Structure 1
Amino acid sequence: QTTIFYPTYLCLVLDSVINKLIECSTNSFSPESVRLVGEAGFCSGRVEVKSNQSWASVCEADFDRQDAEVVCGELSCGAPAALQGGLYGEGEGQTWDKEFQCKGKESLLLDCDTSDRENNTCLPGNAVGLTCSEPDDVRLVGGDSRCAGGVEWYDQGEWRTVGAEDWEQEDVAAVVCRQMGCGSTVSVLPGNTTRGFGVDCDGDESALRECRRTYDLLPGLTVICSDLLVQPDIFLTDSMGGVSRGHQGPEMLWGHSFTITCSTQPQYPGGSFLLTFTGSKRTQTQPAVNHSAAFLFPAADDSHQGNYSCVYDYYVFSHNFSSESELLSLTITGN
């Protein structure tokens, strides 16, 4: 039996190659082969296909609605909304010389059948422009709130975990919170044990789909955004029939008792409500019982006229969160 000793550097090279092969076998994403070029965002633009390491525009005559459905799906956008030649200008490079014959169910445009174009010219102004609808393709899961949890991206018919390098996590989180309308980032950490595909963001993108994919397998991100709590409701009631509806809001008769109630959806148990009053900068606080709190005023007088709002406070994920209701403008009449 003969033992063969390999140089150390060769072992390192072989180890690197093996790891790359494993990574490729577990990564189902394909390199970018189609894109939409223009100024209207990631899901709108001139259709271009990658051919021999360069990009080629597609002629309108070679592209139909079923082809558009495949492109929108491949880019993780919504259904096609507009399809028109010359909509996003002409490309400076070559023109794709095949006619696509997609059935609409293919995962990639280059998986579709093609045929030779009868006329090998594409007249100016006929480069096809496509607008796909904007999808809800990002979500946060496992955090009991749509604004907290593990980041997932809907891609090619399924939800996939998103990861990022340590120095990219803050930028990715900022984009996720912005896209979901959840305010700013409170915290981000690699809290998901599932490995996801890597994303590289600058931090100022409006949606995650505008970022770059790195195709690395990285620990999934857990993101907590500032707008964690839903907006509470505020409304006024009275037991003496003294309230009426005016042009600027509710009107209360002088001397009548009234109650301002704060409530929120059953998102978390407990918490507290702070009732603020701009007329005198007074505040009152009550614990939330069954997701609401009632503030009683025994007799209305001129000092009660002004704007009220409810602020719901809750401590979760090691942070204090708050959400404020719309203003209730109260007028006192009849004095």
Structure 2
Amino acid sequence: MRETKVVCRELDCGNPVAESRPKEGRGGVRLESSCNGHESTLRQCVTKTYTCEGGYYHHVICSESVRLVDGAGLCSGRVEVKSDQSWASVCEADFDRQDAEVVCGELGCGAPAALQGGLYGGGEGQTWDKEFQCKGKESLLLDCDTSDREKNTCLPGNAVGLTCSEPDDVRLVGGGSRCAGGVERYDQGEWRTVGDDYWGDVAVVVCRQLGCGSTVSVLPGNTTRGFGASCSGSEPSLRECWRRFKLFPGLTVICSGNNKIL
């Protein structure tokens, strides 16, 4: 999802929420890129371009009106809301756990894990001038009710920082434990096999995301083939790895949280 991060940033559309390759499109441009996710524009990380006839186009969904910045990944950072075409930090006093539940859900993350002012920097520039009053079930933060502050309770440098748990979109199946088995990821409404020809780094990320400790072993999976994931090993979740739409053999992972031998 590194290229997707750059696309959303370049378009000033918040954080990436999802990416897919849904259907065939018209002729276009195929990009060969090596983004690290921190570039300002896609042009900065594209190494080659090819003209192609037909094929699949890349579909990206960005959060548009809310984002988490200066965190370790897509699910942590300082909360910012888009207001009048500019981004504003949110004061800790104007934001509670129910508001956090909506933000985490909107960004495709799990439940809130930590909520604290100044956790990811105090924020610079504009500050959101209203108090959110979410019920926790809204789909978007800007769908929540808001109210004006009764008094100025926003202290300087106290922009709210939020850490959401990683999404529950990865599982290990067929190994007798949640910490061992074939890797699957929930993608476009179904569980799909994850495969790769460079197993180690994918396994590290999977074990980390599942809270299953370190990697004990990685084995070739069954003959089922799945979409590839190319990871550096430092990503907090599998969705932050580079997605490869070419099919690869599935892989089986045993994490240290499970001692059962397959």
When normalised by structure 1's length, the TM-score is 0.45
**1:89-144 superposed Cα distances (whole Å, 9 cap, x missing partner):** 3123543455444331133435x235575689854133112344567653112455
Shift of 1:182: 5.3
CA RMSD of aligned residues (A): 4.7
**Kept in 1: contact 2:166–2:237 (CA 8 A):** no
**Match of 1:308?**
none
In our comparison, the structure showing a higher alpha carbon Rg is: 1
**Kept in 1: contact 2:202–2:238 (CA 8 A):** no
Q: Which runs of 5+ in 2 are unaligned?
A: 1-25, 30-51
**Kept in 1: contact 2:213–2:256 (CA 8 A):** no
The AA in structure 2 aligned to 1:149 is: G
> In structure 2, do the counterparts of structure 1 residues 168 and 226 end up closer, same or farther at CA, with 3 Å as the change threshold?
closer
* Number of aligned residue pairs: 210
Distance 1:40 1:13 in 2: 34
**Match of 2:240?**
211
Structure 2 SS opposite 1:30: strand
**Match of 1:202?**
232
> In structure 2, do the counterparts of structure 1 residues 54 and 136 end up closer, same or farther at CA, with 3 Å as the change threshold?
same
The AA in structure 1 aligned to 2:62 is: P
Match of 2:112 among 68, 76, 80: 80
**Match of 1:298?**
none
Distance 1:191 1:51 in 2: 50
Match of 2:207 among 162, 177, 182: 177
> In structure 2, do the counterparts of structure 1 residues 88 and 178 end up closer, same or farther at CA, with 3 Å as the change threshold?
closer
Match of 2:181 among 140, 148, 151: 148
**Match of 1:307?**
none
Distance 2:198 2:88 in 1: 32
Work out which structure has the larger RCO, using CA pairs closer than 8 Å and 6 or more positions apart in sequence: 2
Distance 2:79 2:130 in 1: 13
> In structure 2, do the counterparts of structure 1 residues 144 and 83 end up closer, same or farther at CA, with 3 Å as the change threshold?
closer
Shift of 1:192: 4.3
**Match of 1:12?**
27
Shift of 1:69: 1.0
Distance 1:100 1:162 in 2: 40
Structure 2 SS opposite 1:46: strand
**Match of 2:62?**
31
Distance 1:13 1:141 in 2: 38
Distance 1:51 1:161 in 2: 38
Shift of 1:37: 4.1
**Match of 1:70?**
102
> In structure 2, do the counterparts of structure 1 residues 150 and 93 end up closer, same or farther at CA, with 3 Å as the change threshold?
same
The AA in structure 2 aligned to 1:174 is: V
Distance 1:177 1:193 in 2: 20
